[in-house]
Every structure is written in C-alpha cells, then in structure tokens.
Amino acid sequence: MAFPHRPDAPELPDFSMLKRLARDQLIYLLEQLPGKKDLFIEADLMSPLDRIANVSILKQHEVDKLYKVESKPALSSNEQLCFLVRPRIKNMRYIASLVNADKMAGRTRKYKVIFCPQKFHACEMVLEEEGVYGDVSCDEWAFSLLPLDVDLLSMELPEFFRDYFLEGDQRWINTVAQALHLLSTLYGPFPNCYGIGRCTKMSYELWRRLEEEEDGETKGRRPEIGHIFLLDRDVDFVTALCSQVVYEGLVDDTFRIKCGSVDFGPEVTSSDRSLKVLLNAEDKVFNEIRNEHFSNVFGFLSQKARNLQAQYDRRRGMDIKQMKNFVSQELKGLKQEHRLLSVPLLEGFNIRESTSYIEEHIDRQVSPIESLRLMCLLSITENGLIPKDYRSLKTQYLQSYGPEHLLTFSNLRRAGLLTEQAPGDTLTAVESKVSKLVTDKAAGKITDAFSSLAKRSNFRAISKKLNLIPRVDGEYDLKVPRDMAYVFSGAYVPLSCRIIEQVLERRSWQGLDEVVRLLNCSELAFTDTTKEDKASSECLRLILVVFLGGCTFSEISALRFLGREKGYRFIFLTTAITNSARLMEAMSEVKA
Amino acid sequence: MDCYTANWNPLGDSAFYRKYELYSMDWDLKEELRDCLVAAAPYGGPIALLRNPWRKEKATSIRPVLEIYSASGLPLASLLWKSGPVVSLGWSAEEELLCVQEDGVVLVYGLHGDFRRHFSMGNEVLQNRVLDARIFHTEFGSGLAILTGAHRFTLSANVGDLKLRRMPEVPGLQSAPSCWTTLCQDRVAHILLAVGPDLYLLDHAACSAVTLPGLALGVSSFLQMAVSFTYRHLALFTDTGYIWMGTSSLKEKLCEFNCNIRAPPKQMVWCSRPRSKERAVVVAWERRLMVVGDAPESIQYKQLTIQVLLDRLVLRRLYPLAIQICEYLRLPEVQGVSRILAHWACYKVQQKDVSDEDVARAINQKLGDTPGVSYSDIAARAYGCGRTELAIKLLEYEPRSGEQVPLLLKMKRSKLALSKAIESGDTDLVFTVLLHLKNELNRGDFFMTLRNQPMALSLYRQFCKHQELETLKDLYNQDDNHQELGSFHIRASYAAEERIEGRVAALQTAADAFYKAKNEFAAKATEDQMRLLRLQRRLEDELGGHFVDLSLHDTVTTLILGGHSKRAEQLARDFRIPDKRLWWLKLTALADLEDWEELEKFSKSKKSPIGYLPFVEICMKQHNKYEAKKYASRVGPEQKVKALLLVGDVAQAADVAIEHRNEAELSLVLSHCTGATDGATADKIQRARAQAQKK
C-alpha cells in the first residue's frame, strides 16, 4: 500500500522560493501606490493570490477593502483603486466603465492596474479607446508559477488550452518562455531538453532566445534539474479524456480541485458545513492514498482510521471519518455506474454499440459534458466518426441541449477532438467482424474493449507501437501495480507518460520516428543535449515535465509511479490542472 | 639639489609652483587670438576658433573661417562660415560645438566640422538679439544661457533635450549686468548677476537680491565672477581690486585677497590639479597672471573615466587605438570592442561615396556576430543619413527579428515588419505592427495582408471577437469563410438580438451562410431552430409559461409536464424526434408527474423501443416498488436479473441466473446477497456453481 519513495530518490529543489519572489514583487507593486487603497481582484486570481499573500499581508500594505472584479459596479469610497487582473479585454472595459463613471460624477481618484502575469498591448489599446489610458497606471505582476505541491507547479492559466488549441492564439507562449527562463535562472540550466508539439517548439525557441539575450546569467551555474520534457496537450487527448480512477484524479473529477484545494459539501462532511481542504503532500494520509487506485482506498482508510485517528492532525484537513464517508458514499456507487475509464464506451466491443450507448446517454440528457467526452473519445480512437453517426449524434445532441452547440461542434472539429471520417477511413464490415472474433473473452473486459477501439486509427497504431494496452493474464493486481496502466485500472498506459518514458530511456527520439510520424509531429519533436560536466548524477535523475494545455492527476500519478520504478523523480509544470470535463467545457459554447 | 627646486616659486607661505611647457602648439595661426571667438572643450578636448569679423571696429565683408584644432593644435577641421553673426562658441560635454548666433539660432557641429543640427532659443531671443551667451555643464548635460538685448535671460538646462525657460525680470535693470554666471544648485540652474554694487540670483520663479558674507566695504561694482567646474565655489572680482572666494551657495567665505589692481581682468577661472585638495583662482590681465589660493579643503575631482576616454577616441575616429586600449585593459566585449565597432559602423554608413553593398559587406565582415553589437542601431543611423536600402541590408544581419521591427515601421516597410514581428514570437509586437498596418493600408489591403499571415490573423480575430464584432464579420466575408460567418450569425441570434424577428433573421442569414459553406447539416439544423423559435413564441402566447430558448427536448418535456400531451406529440412528429428519445422523455416526464396510470397506458401503447428495464429503474428512483415490479416482469431475459435485483427480489434473480447458467449473473446476484435473509439463496448459487464446474 502507499508508495514510499525509494531511499535513493533525489531531493526535490525548493520551490517555495517562487512564492516568496511572487509575494515580494506584489508587495513592491502595492507600495508603488502609497496610502490606503481598495483592491479589486479578478475571481480567477483569488485562489492563487491566497496561496501567495493572505488578507493580513495585503492589509499590512494598506489594502483597505477587497472587491471582486465583476459586472456590477462596486461602491468603493476609497481615493485609490487598485485592480489585480488577468490581461483580458472584458476586464479593461470594466475598469474603463468605473473610471468613466467617476469622471461623469466629477470625481478624481488614483487608479492602478496590475496585470498578472503580464500586460498585452491589446488591453492598453482598449483602455485608450475607452479614453482612460491617461488616468490609470499600468504594472505587471510576473507571477506565473504557483507551487501547488512539492513537485507540482501550475501557471493557473486554464484559458491557455482554449486560446492556443482552439483559437490559435499564441499570446501565452511568451508567458511560458518567461516562466521557463525564471526556472533556469533560479535552478540552473537544463542539460537535457526534449519536446514534442507545435506550441512546445515555439515556446522552447522563444525561451532559448531569452537565454541568449541575457547571455551569461545561467552560465556556469550548476544544474539542479537534469532533464526537461515539454509536451503539447494535443499530442495526447485520449488520456485527458478518460475518467480518472486514481484517488486524486477521482476527487478532481467529482469535486473539482481548485488551486490545490477542494470544497467538500455537507453531504460529504456529514455535518451542516462545507469544508475547504488543502490537498498536498503535507497531509500525510492524503499523501499516502493520492496515487492509489480508488478500489484500494476504502480498505486503507478503514485500517488507518483504527490506527491513526488519534495522531492525525484534524486541523490540517479532512479527517479520516470524512474521507471514509466520501469514499464509501461517492466511490462505491462508481463501481455500479461503470464510471471506470470509458467503460460505457467500451462495454460493447464494437463501434455500433458504443454509438448507441452514447446516443442513449444524450437522449436521456444524462450530462452534456459527459456525452461530449464520450463522443470525442470515440472519434479520436476511431480517427473520426463515420459520417452517419457523426450526423445523428450531433442531431440528437442539439435536440437535447440546444442549437448553440452547433458552435460547440464547430469548435471540437477545429481542435481535432470530434471529426468525421474521411471516406477511405471507414472500417470495413469484414474487419469489424474479424476484430470481434479475435477478442479474447478470457481476458479482462476493459482491456479487450480498449484494444478493439485501438485498431485502425492512428491511435490504434500508436497504441500498438507503444504497447499502451497491456496484455494481461488473469486479474490485474491494482494493489501492487506492475506498470503505469494501473492509473486506468490496468487497461491503458497513458500515452503522454509512455512517450516520456521511452524518450528518457533513449535520451532521444531515436527509434521513435514512426510514433512521431503517427502523432503528426514529424517536424515538431526535438532533443537538445548540452554537454554538462557539472551535472551531478542526482540531478540527472530529476525530470521537469511541462504540459502545455494542462495535465491530469492521472498522468501525475503514473509518472510518480514510473519515477519510483526507475529511481527518477518527476517535477510537473502545467499551464493548469485539467480533466475531461474541463477540456470539454473549454470547447463548449455557452449562452451568456 | 638646487637644480630640482630652482624653477619652483613660492605661492603664499606653504605652497610652491613651477612653470614648464608641456608641449608646443602645432597650429599655425593666421589671426590674432584676441580677434577670435575661442572655445576649448573640457578635459583637454578640442579648441574652436572663429575669427570675429562682426566686431564693429573691424567690420568686413570677408567670410570668416571656423577652425577646429586638437588640444595640441593639430588641425581637425576648417570650414567657411556661411551663416549669420556668431556671438559665442562653446563645447558640449559630448564634444559638440555650439555656435550661438546673434538671432538666437544655435548651430551644432561635430568634432570634425560636420554639421549636426540647429535649434532656436525662441522668439524673445530672436526679437531682442543675443547680447551674451554661456555654455555650461551639469550632470544632466550641457546647458545654454542667453542674455538678450532686453536684458532678460533665457536658459536651457540641456541642449540635448531642449526646454526653454525664460527667467524672471530683474527689477529696475536698465543696462546689461557688469558680469554674470550660471550656478547649478539642487539640480536646478540659476543665474547670478551683478548690477552695480548689487547681486541678484534668478531661478525659474523669482529674482532675489543676495549678499556675499564677509564682503569688504566700499565695493561699487563687480567686474568678473567665476564659478568652479563642480559649481561648489565662486569667486568675484570687484572694482576695488578685491577678490572674494567662497561657496557658491553664498553662505560661506573661504578667503579674500586684495591685489590692488583695479583694471578689469580679461579672464578669471578656478583651477586645480587632479586629486589635489588645493584650489586656486587664476586671474588674467593683458600682461599679468595671478594665482590666488586658499587653505586646503577636501574636494576631489571626478577623473576622466575610461568610458569617457574611449568616447573621446571614438569621436576622433581613432578606432584602432580605442580597440587596442580595450584589449589591453581586457574590457568586456560589450563595453569595449563591440561598442567601438558599432561606432565605427555608424561612421562607415555616412560614407556616401561607397555603395550600399560594399558598406554592408564591410560592416558585416568587421562585426560578424560580435556580442553586444546592434545591427538595428547601425541601420537606424544609415536610415538617418537617408540610406534606406542600406538600412534594410544591415537589418538583415540583425539576429533578433524583434529588434528590426521599429525601424522597419519607421521606414514604412510595414509588411516586412509584420513578418519580422511574427518571426520574433512576440505577440505584442505583432499587434503593434497590425495597428500600424490598419492605419496605413485601406481595409481591403489590410485584410489581404492578414490573410497571408495566419498567426497575425488569429491574433487580430481574437481582439475583434471582444472589441470589434463588425470587423470580425468583415474579415470572414473577405475570406469567403461561410462556415465561420454562419457561426457568427448563430451567436448573434442569441447574444446580440432580442426580438424574435431579429433572432429569426439572424438564423436565416446563418442558414444561408451554411448552405454556401456546403454544410447542409448546420443549415438544416439552423432552419429547424428557426421553426422551433417561432413555435416556442406561439406556445408562450397561447399557453403562457416559458418556452423560448428551451431545447427541443425540454420543450416537449415542458409540454408533457404542463399536461399538453397532444401538443407534445405533434411537436415530436413535426421535428422527427426519434422513438427512443420520445420514450425516454415521456417515461421520465410521467414519472416526475407520478402519473402512474398514464405511464402504464403509455407502456402498453406499443412495444417499448428502449425495453422495460428503464421503467423499472425510473419507478425505483421515485421509490415506487409496486409499479417497478409490474415492469420487472416484462423485462426481456437478458436484463431480467438486473431488473429483479433492482426491485429487491434476490431469490428470483438467483433462479433466473441459475437457469441462464451465466457466471457473470451469478456473481452479480451473489454480491447482492446480504445477511441471513439471503443465506439460502447464496447457498443455492454456490451449489449451482459447483455443479456447473463438475460438468
């Protein structure tokens, strides 16, 4: 049970420095507006800000009242207003309306806008167009790396995914490059760099250019982290679209972990109050179960409850009783509902059955997001839906959820998540039958179903090449995982993690040409190794994995497992924590 | 021993001085110095001479010559003065020669007599003419003070960043002051002037009378004043032959001296040796020189830094020497060699007789990719000299594409600037160029440019989505992007329009666009939505309640829940709702209404396309076991076990599973066997399993 670290595991660098840096910078910016001031904070920034500087620190630096940036005008009577916002145009209009209202009322105040993590020219232009550019002073709070845990850094930019992978907007690439530059300034150069994906490549090149411009800053520094691996989310959509079954992922799917903490409602806490719980390595019990398959968790907690309740620090988080309640009520039901992986999809062995399952799902209005997820998963694993199904599923969906989702489907198609098969791609009836015959009934159902899905499309070819669907004889012991597939009940090794494993093993992309080609990344996979004599053997076992477009807790758990197997330690940097629902919501069109 | 001290002369009680020639001047002067305007640059810089033909007694029509010599008298430049009468010459800290004309126009020349620029000291100066002018140096640069014919002062503290200040009037001033100087205190330039026995201090705001502490009696006029290079000390010479030396704050007297010479001196200056703590004032008359010293006090002069020295060499175009010094001193490339090479390149681009190709090649050969060299700066200089083509050639050597953008924009090469901005990966830079292009080009050309640059296009599109919706539409129109146009109008149908007619019209436009995009699916779906919207409106009018904006499914459900089954059926037919969906929908709605009678009727209306397990599930969800059991009996064999388990009939479920001889079903039933009540059933299953294995 619970994964102890190997005794030879390398020490992690101290990332709390990033928090201190961010805090000092924020304080400096607040001091730039001396005297009492009201602070308007964008809703998305509240949780990250809370992890950096709490209210009492803000008060110490003469922040009087705190307001949320929202559509209705705030009634602040302060003479100085400070806005802490993401560089979004709608925020600029909000600020402009506030300033213009003051002007109409003949009132003069001081306004300061702090953009986090950087300002964009378009924002300043909007301020100018609204006629308030001269009235406000603009600053940047270059806070782009929030340590959510000892091995997890998040840029807290969920919009990165939609902006880049749907809209083709490259604005955030500079932010990524700056963040990487900061890391190499603080923790030394990275002797080995690997990457795959278009966004990865652009970010990497921009980062390199930054390093060259500030030539010498990192030169001669001892590297602390031996490898960096960058990866675009669209290299592996499948993993992100799967339902999660490791504990932390499951909690995220069920309750949405927000900025490293989760709100448990009264139904979980079995009291009349909600409870906000910080989920990280400091919580000892949580740390022991976070990477476990959920089926192990209940037994573990029952035992823990007997042994440990007395010693366990209640104040720190959810107590054992609450966790047990959660597991027994929320997770037990899961087994029956077949939330496992993509079981609904996979229960039937052929596409026909999967399609009608999804159709029923839509007809019953079970969940708009879940239906989209299943459609996308089917589409990607099949290299697109056959035209008839594509149309009928869309029709059903529009009937259930409204015509604005025409736009949702247009988005999904553009992002390559839900497409129509080109005529030649259709599985022939014969092939389909053969595949059914070949299926080995004796083996686990899920495994078979998955392999049947992973047959002809690129995903199938990739899956075959990289052995993503392990052959299993008998039961897969989820208590004693043998490979990374345990994060999906032993049925599937996350593609992203497998790629990372393979490249690290080879220290290059050599021999993976075919996989890279199948991923449509022929020009977009690179290795950049510098001879680094100062790199210690310890540092060469530390690997920073950068997910552009978000990473899931399942991937984190899988790589933590890999690390233990190989004596590595992984550090994760992501634009945001994601899961299937977040991806689908990012693509969905909602009526305002 | 004698020979060493022989040429030292006593100066006061404790100091000695000697006089010897450092070097002889190489110049060959044709004019008497006394007939010339002379200006020597600080730190042993160049000397400028302009024979002054405008003095009344020597009026002549011959054009004077402006000559520039090095400090040792080597001729550097000589040019015929073709402009107006000059009142005063002076060197700026950057070794630029400022020639102040009588009309207040200042002409600026380089060390080699190259004309740089000119500026005017303002209208007031132009009208009243320049009587006198002083160039002075402060930490902000070189300033210029003018005394006009109206006895008013105009001042600029930094001629590099010209801001003119007209100083306040001195009350009752009828004639020119007998002497004046600029002072610099608290980072502000002042003017100290003497009128008869009175002294006045002028700052921007006011004119105030001041007095000197410890000044001897009997002074009726000040003949000369001198301020030290650091502006800390001041000396005044009076008509009684008395010298007052003190701080320029006028708060303290350092010493005084009576020389008994009443003739006005030609010149009076502070002097000091580098690092010396002793200061002295040198007073010069036609044939006499006097050094007046005071007690030692700690002051230190800033030395000429190595950077300034290098600048001086560069100005003198002694590039190889400068480079040798850098190498000798092992200065970092960026501060040393690179900088000098960059200066050399800037000089090189001014050689108009050399072709663009040759200049560019020569520069690239010398500079290569030396760190710290900015090709864009050199290109900017070339552009400044009117060599656009050369500038573009030089820019090609600039490795940082972002650096090329500002100059390209300046040169109106906006499209090239756009490519370079995109190459740089800096989206803000791209946006800046886009705004330039938008203003520069007509709309069609602008859109066409965008079309060829997908990265810029998506950036601009994102902006338009939030800020300029009409432009977004135009962009799609321009590209014949009917698919996106359709989407645009779909969004408008619920985000921009409120009235039903407007919304339907937007949908119609969308449908047309989808047809053009050959997206028949979207077109049909849009037309369906138009129909639905109109119908929903009618339903609201006829039945009341809320229908508009519900999905088709929700509309039908709402009708059933409201008891309008007939209408619901009609709608389902009109919109071809598939049977399966309709059954799910009705089942759910009727169960929600707890209309069990109607549900049973419905279940018997024909064979259920979704089977009967859903009926069992939904009844159990409403906690109606009685109804659920009715349907459990109708569930087909494949789902029978599940249905029986749902209604809690474990024993019968076991029987069915045993009958089916289905291992999975047996395990499922077994997992539902709880406690003592199901003990017998569990045993039964185990027996059946054992039997099955025997076979």
Work out the percent of chain B whose per-residue pLDDT is above 70: 93
Instruction: Tell me which H or E stretch contains B181.
Output: strand B179-185
Query: Beta strand pairing status for A63-69 and A37-42?
Result: parallel
Question: Which of the residue ranges A65-69, A568-572, B283-287 would you say has the lowest mean pLDDT?
Answer: B283-287
Of A120, A396, A403, the CB nearest to B428: A120
Which residues on chain A are in Cβ contact (under 8 Å) with B333? none
More confident residue, A148 or B157: A148
CB B175 within 8 A of CB B138: no
Q: How far is CA B442 from CA A518, B397, B433, B436, in A?
A: 44, 31, 15, 12
**CA dihedral of B64, B65, B66, B69, whole degrees rounded to 10:** -140
Mean pLDDT of B522-533: 94
Which residues on chain B are in Cβ contact (under 8 Å) with A406? 487, 490, 522, 525-526
Which residues on chain B are in Cβ contact (under 8 Å) with A591? 494-495, 549
* pLDDT recorded at residue A269: 63
* pLDDT recorded at residue B252: 87
* pLDDT recorded at residue B518: 92
Mean pLDDT of A274-297: 82
* pLDDT recorded at residue A312: 42
For residue A391, what is the nearest residue in chain B, using CA coordinates?
B521
> Residue A440: pLDDT above 70?
no
Backbone angles phi, psi at B108, to 5 degrees: -115, 130
Residue-by-residue DSSP string for A493-508:
--HHHHHHHHHHHHTS
Cα B355 from Cα B390, distance rounded (Å): 9
* pLDDT recorded at residue B358: 85
The listed range with the strongest mean pLDDT (A430-434, A470-474, B484-488, B621-625) is B484-488
Backbone angles phi, psi at B581, to 5 degrees: -60, -45
> Residue A257: pLDDT above 70?
yes
CB A253 within 8 A of CB A244: yes
Question: Which of the residue ranges A194-203, B105-114, B280-289 would you say has the lowest mean pLDDT?
Answer: B280-289
**pLDDT band at residue A321 using 50, 70 and 90 as cut-offs:** low
Instruction: Tell me if chain B has a CB within 8 Å of the CB of A76.
Output: no
Query: Beta strand pairing status for B165-166 and B153-156?
Result: antiparallel
Under DSSP, the state recorded for A162 is I
Which residues on chain B are in Cβ contact (under 8 Å) with A395? 525
Mean pLDDT of chain B: 85
Cα B365 from Cα B197, distance rounded (Å): 67
Give the HSE-up count for residue A541: Cα atoms under 13 Å, Cβ half-sphere.
18
> Residue A96: pLDDT above 90?
yes
Neighbours of A214 (CB within 10 A): 12
CB contact under 8 A, A591 and B549: yes
Which residues on chain B are in Cβ contact (under 8 Å) with A129? 467
For residue A207, what is the nearest residue in chain B, using CA coordinates?
B425
* pLDDT recorded at residue A427: 44
Residue from B370, B581, B592, B663 to probe the interface with A (highest A Cβ count within 10 Å): B581
Instruction: Tell me if chain B has a CB within 8 Å of the CB of A477.
Output: no
Mean pLDDT of A6-19: 88
Contacts 24+ apart (CB under 8 A), B526-529: B526/A403, B526/A406, B526/B486, B526/B490, B528/A403, B528/B552, B528/B575, B529/A403, B529/B493
DSSP helix/strand/coil, B235 = strand
Pick from A530, A22, A572: nearest CA to A260: A572
For residue B530, what is the nearest residue in chain A, using CA coordinates?
A403
Largest CA distance in chain B: 143
> Measured in Å, how far apart are chain A's first and last C-alpha atoms?
47
Q: How far is CA B151 from CA B136, B169, B227, in A?
A: 19, 8, 21
List all residues 6 or more positions away from B494 whose beta carbon is below 8 Å from its beta carbon: A404, A591, B503, B549
Residue-by-residue DSSP string for B334-373:
TTTHHHHHHHHHHHHTT-TTS-HHHHHHHHHHHHTT-TT-
* pLDDT recorded at residue A343: 41
> Residue A182: pLDDT above 70?
yes
Give the tens place of pLDDT for each residue, A128-137. 999 999 899 9
Mean pLDDT of A203-227: 82
For residue B372, what is the nearest residue in chain A, using CA coordinates?
A213
Cα A244 from Cα A254, distance rounded (Å): 10
Give the tens place of pLDDT for each residue, B433-492. 998 898 888 888 898 888 888 889 888 988 998 888 899 999 898 888 999 999 999 999
* pLDDT recorded at residue A289: 86
Cα B37 from Cα B35, distance rounded (Å): 7
Which residues on chain B are in Cβ contact (under 8 Å) with A138? none
**pLDDT band at residue A100 using 50, 70 and 90 as cut-offs:** very high
* pLDDT recorded at residue A355: 84
More confident residue, A152 or A32: A152
* pLDDT recorded at residue B559: 94
* pLDDT recorded at residue A293: 86
Cα B421 from Cα B268, distance rounded (Å): 58
Q: How far is CA B274 from CA A222, B196, B277, B464, B557, in A?
A: 46, 36, 9, 65, 98
The listed range with the strongest mean pLDDT (A518-532, A548-562, B89-103, B486-500) is A548-562
* pLDDT recorded at residue B56: 54
Instruction: Tell me if chain B has a CB within 8 Å of the CB of A367.
Output: no
Of B425, B495, B581, the CB nearest to A396: B581
Burial class (CB in 10 A: 0-12, 13-18, 19+), B320: exposed
Residue-by-residue DSSP string for A244-256:
P-BHHHHHHHHH-
Instruction: Tell me if chain B has a CB within 8 Å of the CB of A399.
Output: yes
Q: Which of residues 84-103 of A touch B (CB under 8 A)?
A: 88-90
CB B77 within 8 A of CB B113: yes
Cα A47 from Cα B642, distance rounded (Å): 46
* pLDDT recorded at residue A215: 65
User: What ipTM describes this predicted complex?
Assistant: 0.84
Query: Beta strand pairing status for A146-149 and B97-101?
Result: unpaired
Amino acid A165 reads F
Which residues on chain A are in Cβ contact (under 8 Å) with B577? 399
> Residue B216: pLDDT above 80?
yes
List all residues 6 or more positions away from B68 whose beta carbon is below 8 Å from its beta carbon: B46, B47, B48, B49, B75, B76, B77, B78, B97, B109, B111, B112, B113
> Residue A337: pLDDT above 70?
no
Mean pLDDT of B652-666: 83
Residue from B432, B435, B462 to probe the interface with A (highest A Cβ count within 10 Å): B462
* pLDDT recorded at residue B304: 53
Q: Where are the alpha helices (DSSP H) in B349-468?
A: 356-367, 375-384, 388-395, 401-410, 414-424, 427-440, 443-451, 454-467
Neighbours of A122 (CB within 10 A): 23
Burial class (CB in 10 A: 0-12, 13-18, 19+), A61: middle
Mean pLDDT of B145-150: 93
Angle in degrees, CA A551, A552, A553, rounded to 5? 130
* pLDDT recorded at residue A5: 66
Which residues on chain A are in Cβ contact (under 8 Å) with B580? 359-360, 363
Mean pLDDT of B346-371: 80
Q: Which of residues 142-201 of A touch B (CB under 8 A)?
A: 163, 167-171, 173-174, 177
For residue B491, what is the nearest residue in chain A, using CA coordinates?
A404
Handedness of CA B453, B455, B458, B460 (dihedral sign): negative
Residues of B with CB under 8 A from a CB of A: 371, 400, 425-428, 431-432, 435, 454-455, 458-459, 461-463, 466-467, 483, 487, 490-491, 494-495, 521-522, 525-526, 528-529, 532, 549-553, 575, 577-578, 580-581, 584-585, 588, 610
Distance from CA of B458 to the nearest CA of A (A): 6
Instruction: Tell me if chain B has a CB within 8 Å of the CB of A214.
Output: no
